[in-house]
Structure 1
Amino acid sequence: MKKRSLSIVLGTVLAAGVLAGCGSNAQGVQDTNAADAAGADSAATETNAAGADTAATDTTTEEANAADVAGTDADAATTDAADGETEIAADGQLKSVLDKGTLTVAMEGNWQPWSYHDLQTNEVIGYDADVARAIGEKLGVTVEIVEAPWESLFAGLDDGRYDFVVNGVEITDERSAKYDFSDPYAYVHTALVVRDDNTEIKGFDDLAGKVTCNSIGSTYMELAESYGATANGVSTLDETVQNVVNGRADATLNSEDSILFYQSQNPDAPIKIIATTDEASSVAIPMRKGDDSASLRAAVNKALAELSADGTLTSLSEKYFGSDLSAND
């Protein structure tokens, strides 16, 4: 603007000089110069106006594009919500697991076919072991399996020695009062087992006054006691069966599928299943109760849902049990 004003002043001075020296011709030149200046001003005005229009158009276009992007994001969010996809906040215990890249899981390691050692590699395998590893894969972390006796599993969970327990744990009211459980990943029936020559015990009601042998603090021990039996506690399935075979116990209670697996591995064992519970119990993953574990529980449930939908749970169950325990049919 300053340069343009200076040009107009110089033009006026020059025009005055011409007017003094050239008479009427100077008027024509002045008129011509004025017309040119007017034309320049008009062109500048039009140019500026066009530039302003272009800028306004660009601004409007940018705003429209931004609105389109925002609308697209909103639509995507709506679609995710409609599809049932919920973003899980990586906080609390889940954040700790993701930060260290390791999920620490506890199980017995000697309860076939839930968890046991491969004779060739000594690796812990079984339905629980493979489910735990599949969950870890979904979370993008390595799974570290810690073995402990049944009676120590929950004490270790309480102390924070591992993130959760995957050990065929059945959901009960008493356990639910102390722990938060994942969604079920298996459903089991309890079997009543006696020596193959036992004719006194024909069902659960006949346990009154009898002696059973069960894992300490297990639902099987609690069920035996509810029928009036005296339940002696041991640590492993092998021990329970041996107590029955040797006559130190009249019966034992355990997962029907574990007993069937035991019989398949020990066909000469002198035992028989004489009864099973009518209703299946839900098997799930117990975690420490509270808000700190809420995000981890949500992530585990999401993983289990995906493993169920893609057939992984069914495949693993059929591999280890010979049937699908993952569905409550």
Structure 2
Amino acid sequence: MKLLKYTLLAGAMVMGATSAFAGEALDRVMSKGKLVVSTDAEYPPQSSINADNELIGFDVDVGRAIAKQMGVEAEFVTPGWDVITSGHWAGRWDMSVGSMTPTKERAKVLDFPVVYYFTPAALVVHEKNTSIHQTSDASGKKVGVGVSTTYESYLNKKLVIDADGVPEFSFVINDADIRTYDSDVLALDDLRLGDGVRLDAAFTALPTILEAQKNGYPIKVVGPEALFMEPLAIATAKGDAELNAKIKDAVTALRADGTLSKISEKWYGGDLTQ
């Protein structure tokens, strides 16, 4: 199998223009025959680097499929999540396929041309925990989350999801002692050290929790209910309607021909794309 080319980017980068000129990004992609895609290097099963130094995962396969549908090659870069969500990409990459929830705050600097799948957000504790039986029991506890994520916004009671069809949710965890990490998996790493050793709970997407459990993490999900349902969208630099339309058309075609469903079945064992 051909190795996937990816580039690890440093966190400190020169910030550029606030938005793309109309058509500029799409012209660059089509003329170079290359779609540069940003994603997370430490977010399995969505995206991670395996033992063979290959970038793999659901988001990686989706990014590659979008590029193929557009008739170009995919090249992946892995800047920090806070760098991706801050916008102002200045042409360093063309789109993000990183399981990003479209929020009002993020929409100030990014466009979200299309939602491509949905996941429940869940609270998780160490398997020996006996004090957190329901999600509200995490109030006042040490809860780990990825920095600049919707989970952090939820705990701060600032989360607003602007997407059609998203079920209403309420903030049931009060005054959490929020501990932020560069990735959600790092929070799970601390949680598995023991109940209350560094964290009392962690908060992330259910597929990430299930992947960790499959890899032997001694953790358990709190309660059957999701704290909120996340629509996950493709993100682009603000202002290039032509590129947005091309990406939306590509995802629509991949959903219609069953490609998105097949990728979801491969990584999640079920179809989360509908």
Q: Do they fold alike, i.e. is TM over 0.5?
A: yes
Q: Give the match for residue 99 of structure 2.
A: 168
User: Which structure ranks higher in relative contact order (CA pairs < 8 Å, sequence separation ≥ 6)?
Assistant: 2
C-alpha offsets along residues 25-51 of structure 1, whole Å, 9 cap, x if unaligned?
xxxxxxxxxxxxxxxxxxxxxxxxxxx
Select 1:271's aligned residue among 213, 219, 228.
Answer: 219
The reply to whether residue 153 of structure 1 matches residue 84 of structure 2 is yes
Helix, strand or coil at the partner of 2:250: helix
* CA displacement at 1:164 relative to structure 2: 1.5
C-alpha distance in 1 between matches for 2:40 and 2:244: 21
CA, structure 1 residues 242+278, in 2 after alignment: closer, same or farther (shift >3 Å)?
Answer: closer
Q: Give the unaligned 5+ runs of structure 2.
A: 1-21, 158-172
The reply to whether residue 319 of structure 1 matches residue 266 of structure 2 is yes
Helix, strand or coil at the partner of 1:301: helix
C-alpha distance in 2 between matches for 1:91 and 1:179: 16
> Which amino acid in 2 is paired with 1:183?
V
The reply to whether residue 212 of structure 1 matches residue 143 of structure 2 is yes
Q: Give the match for residue 193 of structure 1.
A: 124
The equivalences for 1:246-265 within 5 A come to 246=193, 247-265=197-215
C-alpha distance in 1 between matches for 2:85 and 2:102: 14
> Which amino acid in 2 is paired with 1:99?
S
C-alpha distance in 2 between matches for 1:271 and 1:313: 29
> Which amino acid in 2 is paired with 1:282?
P
Mean CA deviation greater in 303-312 or 153-162: 153-162
Contact 1:224 1:253 in 2 (8 A): no
Q: Give the match for residue 26 of structure 2.
A: 94
The reply to whether residue 287 of structure 1 matches residue 236 of structure 2 is yes
| TM-score for the superposition, normalised by structure 1 | 0.67
> Which amino acid in 2 is paired with 1:249?
L
Percent identity, aligned pairs only, is 33
Mean CA deviation greater in 129-138 or 233-242: 233-242
RMSD: 1.7
Highest Rg: 1 or 2? 1
Q: Give the match for residue 299 of structure 1.
A: 246
| TM-score for the superposition, normalised by structure 2 | 0.80
Q: Give the match for residue 129 of structure 1.
A: 60
Which of the pair is proportionally richer in strand?
2
Helix, strand or coil at the partner of 2:105: helix
C-alpha distance in 2 between matches for 1:216 and 1:123: 25
C-alpha distance in 2 between matches for 1:93 and 1:149: 22
* CA displacement at 1:195 relative to structure 2: 1.0
* CA displacement at 1:279 relative to structure 2: 4.6
C-alpha distance in 2 between matches for 1:211 and 1:225: 13
The equivalences for 1:70-81 within 5 A come to none
CA, structure 1 residues 110+279, in 2 after alignment: closer, same or farther (shift >3 Å)?
Answer: closer
Select 2:191's aligned residue among 244, 266, 287.
Answer: 244
* CA displacement at 1:283 relative to structure 2: 0.1
